[in-house]
A = this chain, B = another copy of it.
């Protein structure tokens, strides 16, 4: 069971919607639609993906990190370091 299990359905719904958004952007590009209109849709899909990232990170912190911290030991350090690296990737992307 993963840390995001309680939100699995919500995450899958979001991801399928994003997949549809990206397919829609492909059609706009294939149809030579106005660049600013395409950009608006790409920004919307990017924001939606960032929301998925934040949801996953929330679950990781409240689940894996808290669990590992309670048990202590080197595993707690590994989980914290993974979370820190994931946050840095998110902030820099």
- Write the residues of chain A forming the contact surface with B, with a CB cutoff of 8 angstroms: 1-5, 8, 11-12, 15-16, 18-19, 22-23, 25-26, 29-30, 32-36, 38-40, 42-43, 45-47, 49-50, 52-54, 56-66, 69-70, 72, 76, 80, 82-84, 86-93
A–B complex contacts, Cβ < 8 Å, 5 sampled? A19-B23, A22-B22, A36-B83, A36-B86, A66-B80
Q: Nearest Cβ distance between residue A57 and chain B, in whole angstroms? A: 6
The interface residues of chain A, by DSSP majority, are classed as: helix
Copies of the chain in the assembly = 4
Contact A32 B8 (CB under 8 A): yes
**CB neighbours of A42 from chain B (8 A):** 49, 52-53, 56
